[in-house]
Amino acid sequence: MPSPPAAAPSQDVKRRAAREVIDILFEIATLLNTRLDRQQLSYCVSLIENGANPEALARAILQLREEYAPESGEEAEDASSGAAR
């Protein structure tokens, strides 16, 4: 039985590389204070890789955050509970 060509990386190697890319992008996103978690960032990367306009995606995220922003009382409560984690 012939073995697969050495040039074709295995699924595990591809998965590891993708995870490493997301980890690096997450560090950058954290430094830029984007407030995106790893899963949200992964969705954004996937959308962009599949042809979504990055600027339009950023505008959509900002608009959604404005529309669904927590009220000022909830925001203060969330911030204090986040510090306890």
pLDDT tens for 4-43 read: 555 567 999 999 999 999 999 999 999 999 999 999 999 9
pLDDT at residue 21 in the model? 95
In a domain, 9, yes or no: no
Contact 41, 54 (CB under 8 A): no
- Number of domains, the chain: 1
Res 84 pLDDT > 50 = no
In a domain, 39, yes or no: yes
* Residue range(s) defining the domain that contains residue 35: 26-67
In a domain, 31, yes or no: yes
- In the chain, alpha helices (H): 11-31, 38-49, 54-67, 72-84
pLDDT single digits (tens) 59-70:
999 999 999 988
